[in-house]
Chain A
Amino acid sequence: MVYYLIVCRSLTYAQRTASALERAGITAHILRSPRSISQEGCSHSVKVSQRRLADALVVLNRVGLTPQRIYITDSDGSYREVRL
């Protein structure tokens, strides 16, 4: 399944992000960022489905939560950064 990972600067920031998305009816799941995308080591990401990314970005923009970086899963299981 293809999904997006919104990388957050801290666990608390990821929790705020997920909470804002859930409040808007967008399923969001917090997980530890895969090592391959957590550039500075240890971070948390919020996972959203492919079809809800656009809605998610609108919500996050509205509440002033800025994603650090966003990645999409590739078919081989690797991650590719998404340029917005």
Chain B
Amino acid sequence: MVKIKDVAKACKSKNASPFELTLDIMFEDEETFARVRAARCITPERVPACYRIQPQDVLFTEYPPALAYKATIMRRIPSGAVGDTDIYGAQQHAPLLELELPI
């Protein structure tokens, strides 16, 4: 079973506002992206599960022009507020890296 870290061209996170975090998963070529799509393995359910949040709390977009998936979630703590450990939200991609893809 391959994982996202084995096949993705990019797997990244960043603030989408002081209160939101956006996660992008991108693939190298159309053939790989097509296999991932066909397997229906990056979904509005599986991605938030990596962050222990509910599907209804995620804005999920499949974006074929960039061979990408995007998921936007609320930050538990706003950027820069007391207790925040990642001001730009740039290191919140890690839980996705181990997501298994049956392709």
Q: Do A and B come from one complex?
A: no
Task: Give B residues with C-beta under 8 Å from A.
Answer: none
